[in-house]
Amino acid sequence: MALLVIVRHGQSVWNQKNLFTGWADVALTHLGEQEAQHSGMVLKPYHFDFAFTSVLKRAINTLEIMQQEMKTHLPVIKSEA
């Protein structure tokens, strides 16, 4: 059976300031990094064939941290959409 998992990026610097981020390419906060690590821990028991991410660093960094926690390296498809 196929499984689709959607994960939002961890807290960004602008999220922390309650600002709308949109396409501004802002980094994760320390809390955002911890959230990504926790997401990886929760999803570690599952097998994934590939991952999708936006081209923004907060999304890419979230995925990288999750993969480190999951001890996997998935093929990644990046999109601006």
Per-residue pLDDT tens digits for 14-41: 999 998 888 899 999 999 999 999 999 9
Token pair 């097998």 in the structure block, residue: 47
In Å, how far are 42, 58, 63, 67 from 70, measured between CA atoms?
A: 9, 18, 10, 5
Best CA proximity match to 9, nearest among 75, 78, 57:
57
50 in any annotated domain: yes
Question: 58 is in which domain, residue-wise?
Answer: 26-79
Q: pLDDT tens-digit profile of 29-72?
A: 999 999 999 999 999 999 999 999 999 999 999 999 999 999 99
Residue with tokens 């923004």: 56
Does any domain span residue 16?
A: no
Query: Is residue 7 domain-resident?
Result: no
Pairwise CA distance, residues 73 & 67, whole Å: 6
Domain total of the chain: 1
In a domain, 6, yes or no: no
pTM of the entire predicted model: 0.92
Alpha carbon 28 to chain centroid, angstroms: 10
